[in-house]
């Protein structure tokens, strides 16, 4: 933590530290433009935040990034940037900005009313913008299409770092690598058998679940199952501190996940994906199915055809093997749907964001 400036060009409010990969390329671009910025770390009100803040501070120190506590008095900025809805702070700002912490992932979260309150809302594509404006036509002037900021960082590949990652994860170089990145809900974890590592013994398996799987008691059974999988030599279970999915995506040959934005992030790297459509539902969704339908973006579910869809774990295994043998199987459809959901993957999203911010200083 360093001495507070009079006014920063931008402050990034890090509500959850898995938002950080969406901010990294933008911070790099701000640095290249010699524009001041810092990460604002929220108050530690739970073990969840305490663990995240430790990881965030370590990252900031390692990468020479300025950070401030939310409790710091006198913080002010031109742009206060959030990865989710606007949170109450004591920060003085000119404008609020949204760089959301995920792309379309099968859920209606991006249409929530509280996400329309921003002075500037950056979105990935015209498809996303059109959906938002159908629900909130009054937001036409502050909803700006730029692409998906997280992908700028994912496109940067350092072969030395990737080599070190393979060694760290103890990947067998003679085997291809499957990345299983389930979300917390709705998730397929509880519908996959205990002997999954044996079924996929011919492959390396990296397991990187959503942060909540590690931290919340309601997902204890899912965590226990993953820990059993981790007893096998061909499995690497990501540590809690390894909050970014990017390093795992860079070394994996294929991704399997549920209704998660990670599917599109991986597909945008030109690699095959398998979408698990067999997910465990909560009991109250069974009683009130409309509640689940309201949560999910049912209208656009054809977008999951970005990869092969599995409706049980046996089908998942077969599709993984099939796509690993033929990684170009769905390549044209994958490219078309990636462009529709995450836009141009050109490494210049952060540049467009910073340019827009510079042109909109009050």
- Domain with residue 336: its CATH number is 3.40.50.12580
Pairing of strands 235-237, 204-207: parallel
Distance (Å) of CA 230 to CA 170, 207, 236, 238, 318: 12, 9, 6, 10, 22
- Cis ω for the linkage preceding 186 (within 30 of 0): yes
Q: Is 1 inside a domain boundary? A: no
Tokens of 24: 């990294």
Q: Is 154 inside a domain boundary? A: no
Pairing of strands 273-276, 308-310: parallel
Q: Is 30 inside a domain boundary? A: yes
Q: Is 269 inside a domain boundary? A: yes
pTM of the model: 0.88
Reference 254, options 179, 165, 308, 144; nearest CA is 179
**Residues 194 and 84 both lie in one domain:** no
Provide the residue range defining the domain that includes 202: 159-342
Q: How far apart are CA 68 and CA 56, in angstroms?
A: 11
Q: Is 296 inside a domain boundary? A: yes
Strand partners, 254: 178
**Residues 276 and 135 both lie in one domain:** no
**Residues 112 and 165 both lie in one domain:** no
Residue pLDDT tens, the chain, 362 long:
555 566 999 999 999 888 999 999 999 999 999 999 999 998 766 666 777 788 889 999 999 999 999 989 999 999 999 999 999 899 999 999 999 998 887 777 777 888 889 999 999 999 999 999 988 999 999 999 999 999 998 777 778 888 999 999 999 999 999 999 998 877 899 899 999 999 999 999 999 998 888 888 888 899 999 999 999 999 999 998 887 898 999 999 999 999 888 999 999 999 999 999 998 765 444 544 555 556 677 788 888 899 999 999 999 999 999 999 999 999 999 999 999 999 999 999 999 999 999 999 87
Q: Is 153 inside a domain boundary? A: no
For residue 149, the Cα-to-chain-centroid distance in whole angstroms is: 11
Tokens of 200: 């996929």
Q: Is 3 inside a domain boundary? A: no
Q: Is 104 inside a domain boundary? A: yes
**Residues 204 and 353 both lie in one domain:** no
Using DSSP's 3-state secondary structure scheme, residue 69 falls into strand
**Residues 124 and 185 both lie in one domain:** no
**Residues 132 and 201 both lie in one domain:** no
**Residues 63 and 80 both lie in one domain:** yes
**Residues 179 and 132 both lie in one domain:** no
**Residues 127 and 200 both lie in one domain:** no
**Residues 249 and 304 both lie in one domain:** yes
**Residues 163 and 39 both lie in one domain:** no
Q: How far apart are CA 38 and CA 241, in angstroms?
A: 21
Q: Give the pLDDT confidence score for residue 259 in this predicted structure.
A: 85
């Amino acid at each position: 933590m360093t001495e507070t400036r009079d006014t920063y060009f931008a402050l990034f409010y890090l509500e959850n530290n898995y938002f950080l990969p969406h901010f990294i390329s933008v911070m790099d671009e701000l640095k290249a433009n010699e524009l001041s910025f810092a990460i604002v770390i929220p108050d530690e009100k739970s073990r969840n935040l305490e663990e995240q803040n430790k990881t965030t501070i370590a990252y900031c120190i390692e990468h020479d990034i300025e950070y401030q506590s939310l409790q710091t008095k006198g913080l002010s900025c031109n742009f206060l940037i959030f990865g989710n809805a606007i949170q109450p702070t004591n920060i003085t700002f000119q404008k609020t900005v949204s760089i959301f912490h995920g792309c379309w992932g099968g859920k209606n979260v991006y249409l929530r009313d509280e996400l329309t309150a921003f002075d500037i809302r950056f979105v990935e594509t015209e498809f996303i913008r059109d959906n938002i404006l159908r629900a909130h036509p009054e937001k036409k002037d502050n909803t700006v299409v730029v692409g998906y900021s997280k992908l700028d960082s994912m496109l940067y590949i350092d072969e030395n770092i990737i080599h070190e990652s393979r060694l760290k994860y103890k990947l067998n170089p003679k085997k291809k690598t499957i990345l299983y990145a389930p979300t917390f809900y709705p998730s397929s974890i509880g519908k996959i058998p205990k002997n999954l590592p044996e079924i996929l013994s011919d492959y390396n398996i990296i397991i990187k679940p959503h942060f909540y799987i590690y931290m919340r008691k309601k997902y204890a059974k899912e965590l226990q199952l993953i820990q059993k999988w981790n007893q096998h030599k061909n499995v690497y279970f990501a540590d809690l501190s390894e909050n970014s999915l990017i390093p795992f995506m860079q070394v994996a040959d294929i991704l399997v996940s549920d209704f998660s934005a990670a599917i599109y992030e991986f597909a945008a790297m030109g690699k095959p994906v398998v979408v698990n459509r067999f997910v465990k539902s909560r009991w109250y969704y069974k009683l009130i199915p409309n509640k689940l339908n309201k949560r999910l973006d049912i209208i656009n579910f054809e977008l999951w055809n970005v990869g092969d869809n599995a409706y049980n774990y046996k089908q998942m295994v077969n599709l993984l093997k099939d796509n690993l043998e033929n990684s170009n199987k769905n390549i044209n459809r994958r490219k078309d749907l990636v462009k529709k959901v995450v836009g141009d993957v050109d490494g210049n999203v952060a540049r467009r964001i910073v340019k827009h911010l510079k042109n909109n200083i009050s």
